[in-house]
């Protein structure tokens, strides 16, 4: 029930995330910790040459399997985390695109760096990381967001650290990805597009009307 409520809240964010970019070729997508597949369904509705694999923990993977039934271009794989060879979720193949939607924000700084590096390894040359996270803007206008985030973190005994826009960009560069574009999908959720550079290879995604 929790996963279904969260997915309902984030469907509009998924549309704004997907509408910020477009594929340059047929793409294979790994939707890591993709909830019930709400981003993958939006992708397949918008990009007719995309195929998606949703990776989730077993309990949520069952929900994703039901929600994505009838979507032939979406597969669901049960797995706890991307460890060892992350491409195992794709049958050993590299991904053109990895999607992270509201995943990094709940992790410690060290785990964010580790996961970002793992994601970079699963990307094919010219592959892209498309990530959307809750980001604190850290200014007077948004001081209430900072307060509410702190209260929620304390109440839930959450071990993650607050994520800022600069830290979000540094995660891309620290993983060897080129930070290509960023845009706000909501007042507090910021999307970034990172590309794995490769000579002579066009990036799998390009920005449409993304603003910084």
Q: Which residue has the higher pLDDT, 136 or 199?
A: 199
pLDDT band at 28 (very low <50, low <70, confident <90, very high): very high
Q: At what angle do helices 109-122 and 165-174 cross, to 10 degrees?
A: 50
| Whether pLDDT at 210 is above 50 | no
Task: Give me the percent of the chain exceeding a pLDDT of 90.
Answer: 50
Which class for 161: exposed (0-12), middle (13-18), buried (19 or more C-beta within 10 A)?
Answer: middle
Report CA 138 to chain centroid distance, whole Å.
22
- What per-residue confidence (pLDDT) applies to 40? 96
pLDDT band at 3 (very low <50, low <70, confident <90, very high): low
């Amino acid at each position: 029930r929790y996963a279904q409520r969260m997915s309902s809240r984030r469907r509009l964010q998924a549309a704004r995330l997907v509408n910020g970019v477009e594929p340059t070729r047929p793409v294979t997508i790994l939707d890591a910790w993709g909830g019930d597949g709400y981003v993958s369904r939006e992708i397949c509705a918008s990009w007719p040459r995309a195929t998606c694999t949703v990776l989730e923990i077993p309990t949520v993977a069952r929900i994703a399997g039901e929600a994505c039934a009838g979507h032939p271009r979406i597969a669901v794989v049960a797995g706890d985390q991307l460890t060892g060879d992350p491409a195992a979720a794709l049958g050993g193949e590299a991904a053109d695109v990895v999607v992270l939607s509201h995943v990094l924000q709940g992790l410690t700084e060290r785990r964010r760096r580790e996961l970002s590096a793992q994601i970079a390894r699963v990307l094919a040359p010219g592959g892209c990381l498309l990530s959307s996270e809750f980001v604190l803007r850290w200014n007077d206008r948004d001081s209430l967001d900072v307060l509410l985030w702190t209260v929620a973190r304390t109440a839930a005994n959450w071990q993650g650290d607050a994520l800022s826009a600069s830290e979000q960009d540094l995660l891309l560069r620290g993983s060897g990805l080129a930070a290509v574009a960023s845009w706000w999908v909501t007042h507090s959720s910021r999307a970034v597009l990172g590309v794995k550079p490769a000579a002579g290879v066009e990036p799998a995604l390009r920005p449409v009307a993304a603003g910084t």
